[in-house]
Amino acid sequence: MVDLKTGSGKDKKSFLKVLTDVEKGIYVEKWGISGDELEAGDGWRIEKCRLYGGLSDGVDVITVDNGKLSFVVVPTRGMGIWKGEYRGTFLGWSSPVNNVVHPCHINLEARGGLGWLDGFNEWVVRCGLGSFGAPGVDVIRDNTGGEKKVILTLHGRIANIPAGVVKVKVGLEPSFELGVEGVVHERTMFGSNLKLTTSITTTPGSSSLKISDAVENLRGVPDEMQLLYHCNYGGPFLERGTRFVAPIRRVAPRDSIAAEGVDGFDVFGPPESGFAEQVYFMELLGNDDGRTKVMLVSRDETKAVSVSFSSKELPFFTLWKNTAAVEDGYVTGLEPATSFPNLKTFEREKNRVIKLKPGESYRAEVTLSVHLGKDEVQEACYDIEKIKGKTKPTVFKEPIRDFSPV
Amino acid sequence: MVDLKTGSGKDKKSFLKVLTDVEKGIYVEKWGISGDELEAGDGWRIEKCRLYGGLSDGVDVITVDNGKLSFVVVPTRGMGIWKGEYRGTFLGWSSPVNNVVHPCHINLEARGGLGWLDGFNEWVVRCGLGSFGAPGVDVIRDNTGGEKKVILTLHGRIANIPAGVVKVKVGLEPSFELGVEGVVHERTMFGSNLKLTTSITTTPGSSSLKISDAVENLRGVPDEMQLLYHCNYGGPFLERGTRFVAPIRRVAPRDSIAAEGVDGFDVFGPPESGFAEQVYFMELLGNDDGRTKVMLVSRDETKAVSVSFSSKELPFFTLWKNTAAVEDGYVTGLEPATSFPNLKTFEREKNRVIKLKPGESYRAEVTLSVHLGKDEVQEACYDIEKIKGKTKPTVFKEPIRDFSPV
Amino acid sequence: MVDLKTGSGKDKKSFLKVLTDVEKGIYVEKWGISGDELEAGDGWRIEKCRLYGGLSDGVDVITVDNGKLSFVVVPTRGMGIWKGEYRGTFLGWSSPVNNVVHPCHINLEARGGLGWLDGFNEWVVRCGLGSFGAPGVDVIRDNTGGEKKVILTLHGRIANIPAGVVKVKVGLEPSFELGVEGVVHERTMFGSNLKLTTSITTTPGSSSLKISDAVENLRGVPDEMQLLYHCNYGGPFLERGTRFVAPIRRVAPRDSIAAEGVDGFDVFGPPESGFAEQVYFMELLGNDDGRTKVMLVSRDETKAVSVSFSSKELPFFTLWKNTAAVEDGYVTGLEPATSFPNLKTFEREKNRVIKLKPGESYRAEVTLSVHLGKDEVQEACYDIEKIKGKTKPTVFKEPIRDFSPV
């Protein structure tokens, strides 16, 4: 298996623990491991438990603590990341829904397709996989081969489907990679059968985590797929004067409400009671490989968070500004995706819905990092400057037809 | 904390046990305590367990037995009271749905918003908090700031939301108050965020229990609130000839079906197969403090149940007569509320929907008592006579526009 | 109780184990028994466990292994039979939904009433009881006595309701009958209250299992009932050239798609990507008692499965041919029922919806058998020949109004 003498990259040993495998009848309710136990780096710890009581009853959570950065993966909610902490600083946001909610309490079709909002509180939540974006009516082919009008619910199903396979994987040689892997099936008879395989990794002491996903079409026929990473930040990274920094090629407001704020679209205001969300659609520049990065930088430029990804994998970016009162969810969403979060029917018209052949997979990676101190922040900003080069962003003052159904 | 020498009211010591606190990770599956253990009165017992199997799987129930009166609080179903017993006599009713149903099996939007009925079997169930009453269409403001038509489901969500905090509290000095406390959040992102804090108390040997509720608007913006206490009785308190006794100012039938029975609206018939419900809307008189009381009195006047509350807190009263066959739910509901249970849109037009400012709370108390023997029954009737004084109730023979959308 | 000396049929002793009784507070999570333990035949074993993790979390399954035939009963999913095996040969089919799904993850009203498909993977699943068949709109009488339009969801509710009572019963004298019994209530206030009592039995070494059901109307008023047994087979019994054999009186295609394949309606093709289901409605002949049988016979006639039932109890038969790609569910359904699976409103017009008086029960039995080897297959075919006699089936080339809403 592994040549301990050469210790070459390909042969790195790793420790693997299966926590859930429904088909094999494996389920571990409570479990943990640390660097000391494996003699594989120190200061880190991974713990798995099942929550009890209230709306969280029956939810599995896995906390990965790399020694500086910790985060909570929720297998029961489609392998989303509930919240995190970096050297004592909170990562995520304070949703009015402030406990993790078991999917059995979520009716996605409730209130005309807005039920997803009843469980929405994650730092990072995937939207998709059959569809994401605004709720509305679409036409599908039903079992009889006929057409059927159905409701597409806000942001789709994936965040409310428990993973059927969950594993913890730890590299036994430097960098001692710490990973949580999961498989989530979004499937039905006579409909989508999309398999999400995710690996969420970090390394001891790192200020980053990486989400590596593959979505495979298991059907015998071609099918559509949509994937958006809803990465959400409240305080302390979001505050009055926080700036959004990104290598923008084009940006346009989603609607007239966003158009009102377009001049300061990249600066955030303080919490404001009754604030209605402002959403901006963007195309970003990437480097030669397509790598790109967006950031939130605090007013004094001493702290920042960034989200890095490939503009080839995730070519459409949405900035969600929701600077409502703190109690109503003072938050911004950085949302790289396969399309904009309009109703899928519109995105389909624009040819922005991914089509997968039988057995075909779509891959995407997203890296979330924290930057503390002026040096780190500047360095990250510099990365973005390099990508941007001399390009001036095109800022549309009004919604444009190419981006949204105006 | 407590001055044992003075033993003054304010300083009464109490025993507290937290059974559930989702945020703190506390959950106690099985637990019990008795007067003997605390040397705080005797004959009483409080027990908590989790049910397994069937539709009840995962439901938490707490049985409070004060020695004479016992009742079952269901944290998993919004802190409702499933059923009770007083000196061997059953309190509640026999619903066709005769086991307690976990909310995960309830789809409130099912059958055009009637899904609530699939779990309806409580002695006392709160309706609300965002809305109660008939199902129908309302218009809300969605996340984009736009208007959206949504379905309001029958009697709202609160009865199908598990409590996130559950405590047992026992007074350690006379009267040795026995209490179950709970917090239930009805909330969503971009919508209602109402926090119900309830305390359900009795004392050893008492024939009464008291429900003390506060509903707080946790949003940063004003919001609506509705609250109705659906207090339901079948046999033996409901039987042919049972009378409804109350200090009525005005009463009107809800609809033409109720109008047919208006002459005997305060007397109950025997179980009748195929009986369609008759509903009467009322305004009640209160004493100087607003305190009022309604009763069901058996034909021979040897047994009665009463519901006491403040007509200031709960100014609208509904009598639900559903004297169907026993197997279909022979039952009457005594329903003090913040409005009538018409579709919320109608009640809003009539200015009967409560509006709460950010951080504002609405309080309501309801006391349920049992009266056995002619003396006790007469005494309770006399209380109502005193409130009524010489006022003659106005009985409308037909539905009136002030009360219902005729 | 039992006279051991005479050992007469009526007095046969049996061993009984209650695994779930919600009303009595009985729930056994893990349990098993074997012939050796009871000294009642050998080679057989019955095991009960609860699944954990993923979409199966909280599902109870009971595996009955008679030594040759084994099958998995799922109390949590309405006492359906998930899958089986006979002497190493798989019984059932490979649904895209390849794990058993807890009903709390099923929203029957999702996608216009197609949510049932999200959990559909059983070998044998009952459809009903209030309705089965295509989703669509029906009119019910609501609590106010008024008419209300509601959605009837595909194939009804029964497969997604956990049993409230589950027992294992073993005969202690030959033939040592092995049985799983269950009670499932499909009920709501102001609506259906249908009690399914089922007994699923086999005997050690047998190649058959028998489902014996009674559906009782517990309401105080008459009510409707529908019941269909969706018996599904994929490979190895379904393959290119497998034939459907049955004593057909009349057969008609459901729709134009089925009409295209009507000439070979009784022969199956190979898995075909993008195949749209073909459905054939039939009336079958029965023997003098009404007993009838349908079969799937492999091309080389060395293996077959049969479904036997009474054409008096289940007078309408549907053949569902869904020879789609293996990964999309290559499957055929043999579906004896109280009517055809059209929308209930259509079946009601045709007087094919069962009406039960208060307290009345409808009984049905279905026996599923496996036939291996040419001799066994021929013997079973001969049974069907006998029933058929000289009758030539009437094959309609187009849908007919008597059968479907063409």
User: Residues of A with CB below 8 A from B107's CB?
Assistant: 107
Q: Would you call C191 an interface residue with chain B, using a CB distance cutoff of 8 Å?
A: yes
What is the reported pTM?
Answer: 0.96
CA C182 to chain centre: 14
DSSP C264: G
Enumerate neighbours of C (3 or more CB pairs within 8 A). A, B
Contacts with B207 (C-beta within 8 Å, 6 or more apart), sequence order? B68, B69, B86, B369, B370, B371, B372
Any domain includes B123: yes
Judging contacts by C-beta atoms under 8 Å, the chain B residues touching residue A329 are: 189-190
Residue of A nearest to B58 (CA): A57
**C-alpha–C-alpha distance, residues B186 and B204, integer Å:** 32
Q: Residue C161 and residue B55: Cβ atoms within 8 Å?
A: yes
For residue C274, which residues of chain A lie inside 8 Å, CB to CB?
220-221
Whether A6 shows a pLDDT value over 90: the answer reads no
Is C150 near chain B, with CB under 8 Å?
yes
Picking from B104, B107, B329, the nearest residue to C189 by CB comes out as B329
Residue A388 Ramachandran class (φ > 0 left, ψ -120 to 50 alpha, else beta): alpha
- Contact between chains at B109 and A105 (C-beta distance less than 8 A): no
pLDDT tens per residue, range A23-59: 999 999 999 999 999 999 999 999 999 999 999 999 9
B185 within domain boundaries: no
Which chain C residues are within 8 Å of A60, Cβ to Cβ? 53
Residue C3 lies in a domain: no
Q: Which residues of C touch A187 (CB under 8 A)?
A: 96-97, 118
A88 CB within 8 Å of a chain B CB = no
Q: Are residues B108 and A110, on separate chains, in Cβ contact within 8 Å?
A: yes
Model pLDDT, residue C228:
98
Question: pLDDT (tens digit, 9 = 90+) per residue, C174-195?
Answer: 999 999 999 999 999 999 999 9
CB-CB neighbours of C329 under 10 Å: 27
Range of the domain at C198: 11-395
CA distance B97 to chain C (A): 6
Angstrom distance (rounded) from CA C150 to CA B110? 8
Q: Using 50 as the pLDDT threshold, list the residues of chain B that sit under it.
A: 1-10
Task: Tell me which of B114, B280, B321, B340 to substitute to probe the interface with C (most C C-beta atoms closer than 10 Å).
Answer: B114
All residues at 6 or more sequence positions from C294 whose CB lies less than 8 Å from its CB, including other chains: C244, C245, C246, C284, C306, C307, C317, C334, C336, C384
Q: How far is A137 from chain C (nearest CA, A)?
A: 10
Checking if the pLDDT of A11 tops 70, the result is no
Interface partners of chain A (CB pairs < 8 Å, 3 or more) are B, C
Looking at residue B238, its amino acid is: L
Mean pLDDT of C202-216: 98
Residue among B53, B257, B273 whose CB faces C20 most closely? B53
Q: Do A204 and A67 contact (CB within 8 A), yes or no?
A: yes
Give yes or no for residue A245 having a pLDDT over 70.
Answer: yes
Is the dihedral angle over the CA atoms C101, C105, C109, C114 positive or is it negative?
A: negative
Subunits with at least 3 CB pairs below 8 A relative to chain B? Answer: A, C
Give strand pairing partners of A248: A284
Kindly state whether A118 is in contact with chain C, defined as any CB-CB distance less than 8 angstroms: no
What backbone torsions phi and psi does residue A140 show, to the nearest 5 degrees?
A: -115, 170
H or E segment at C49?
strand C45-50
At B12 the pLDDT is: 65
What SS3 state is found at A315? coil
Model confidence over C31-81: pLDDT tens digits? 999 999 999 999 999 999 999 999 999 999 999 999 999 999 999 999 999
C-alpha distance from B164 to closest chain A C-alpha (Å): 4
Q: How many CB atoms neighbour CB B323 within 10 A?
A: 24
Sign of CA dihedral B70, B75, B76, B80: positive
Contact list, B276 vs chain C (CB under 8 Å): 144-145
Query: Taking CB atoms and an 8 Å limit, are C164 and B53 in contact across chains?
Result: yes
pLDDT of residue A12: 64
Distance between CA atoms of residues B198 and B164, nearest Å? 12
Are the Cβ atoms of C53 and A20 closer than 8 angstroms? yes
Alpha carbons A320 and A330: distance in angstroms, whole number: 11
pLDDT band at residue C406 under the 50/70/90 scheme:
confident
Residue C93: closest CA among C101, C83, C102, C107: C83
Report yes or no for ipTM above 0.90. Answer: yes
Indicate whether A7 belongs to any domain. Answer: no
Query: What percent of chain C has pLDDT above 70?
Result: 97
Cβ pair C329, C93 in contact under 8 A: yes
pLDDT score of A7 more than 50: no
> What's the gap in Å between the CA of A4 and the closest CA on chain B?
43
pLDDT in tens, A175-228: 999 999 999 999 999 999 999 999 999 999 999 999 999 999 999 999 999 999
pLDDT for res A113: 96
- Mean pLDDT of all residues in chain C? 95
A392: Cβ contacts below 8 Å, ≥ 6 apart = none
| CB-closest option in A107, A161, A189 to C107 | A107
User: Which of C18, C21, C77, C144 is the best mutation test for B, with the most CBs of B within 10 A?
Assistant: C144
Q: What is the pLDDT of residue C12?
A: 65
Domain tally, chain C: 1
Give the residue-averaged pLDDT of A287-293.
Answer: 96
Q: Pairing between strand B208-217 and B278-284?
A: unpaired
Residues constituting chain B? 406
Q: How far apart are CA A128 and CA A130, in angstroms?
A: 5
A374 assigned to some structural domain: yes
Minimum CA–CA partner of A102 in chain B: B104
| d(CA C150, nearest CA chain B) in Å | 5
Q: How far apart are CA A301 and CA A15, in angstroms?
A: 39
Name the minimum distance, in Å, from the CA of B77 to any CA of chain C: 15
Q: Determine whether the interchain pair A97/B187 forms a contact, defined as Cβ–Cβ distance below 8 Å.
A: yes
Phi, psi of C102 (to 5 degrees): -65, 135
Is some CB atom of chain B closer than 8 A to the CB atom of C22? yes
The rounded distance, in Å, linking the Cα atoms of B44 and B66 is 4
CATH for A349: 2.70.98.10
Closest residue of B to C218, CA-based? B327
Q: Is residue C96 part of a domain?
A: yes
CB contact under 8 A, C276 and A188: no
> What pLDDT, on the 0 to 100 scale, is given for residue B270?
98
Mean pLDDT of A341-350: 98
The answer to whether residue C2 sits within a structural domain is no
The answer to whether B257 faces chain A, any CB pair under 8 Å, is: no
Per-residue model confidence as pLDDT tens digits over A93-139:
999 999 999 999 999 999 999 999 999 999 999 999 999 999 999 99
C-alpha dist (Å) from residue C113 to A158, A281, B103, C106:
20, 34, 20, 11
Which helix (H) or strand (E) element contains residue C349? helix C344-349
Nearest CB to A54: which of B144, B150, B162? Answer: B162
Q: Which of residues 45-84 of B touch A (CB under 8 A)?
A: 58, 60
- Confirm or reject contact between A257 and chain B (CB < 8 A): yes
Does the CB of A221 have a partner CB in chain C at under 8 Å? yes
Distance CA C332, CA C296 (A): 9
Whether the pLDDT of residue C3 is over 60: the answer is no
Domain membership of residue C70 (yes or no) is: yes
Which residues in chain B are contacts of A99 at CB distance < 8 A? 22-23, 164
Tokens read off for C275: 């195949």
Distance CA C64, CA C84 (A): 9
The answer to whether the Cβ–Cβ distance between A96 and B58 falls below 8 Å is no
How far, in Å, CA of B244 to CA of B264, rounded?
Answer: 10
- Quick check: C53 and A27 CB within 8 A? yes
Chain B: nearest CA to A115, how far in angstroms? 8
Q: Report the distance separating Cα B221 and Cα C140, nearest Å.
A: 40
Beta-strand runs (E) in A22-145: 26-27, 31-34, 45-50, 60-65, 69-74, 80-86, 89-91, 124-129, 136-141
Token pair for B310: 């403040």
